[in-house]
Amino acid sequence: MYLLLLFRSKSNINGEIVRILDEPNEVFSTRAVWDGKNEHGYLVASGIYIYVIDFKNGKTKIGKVAVIK
């Protein structure tokens, strides 16, 4: 299983986690599906978010995603 962590880019990478995706219906072999909500079920604000993907093989990928409303 893959683990995807989303952080708000305004905060430190060690700051608050916006959402963790680790359910089979959220994370697939080549993509992850995020509904734009935080861990509490509320839609996140517009902005740049940092994602960290930990793969089964021990590799990690870091990138950015923009949320525009």
Q: What is the pLDDT of residues 38-60, one digit of tens each?
A: 889 999 888 888 888 877 778 88
13 pLDDT more than 60: no
Section 5-11 average pLDDT: 66
Domain boundaries, the chain: 3-67
Section 18-32 average pLDDT: 70
pTM of the entire structure?
0.73
* Burial group, residue 35, by CB count within 10 angstroms (0-12, 13-18, 19+): exposed
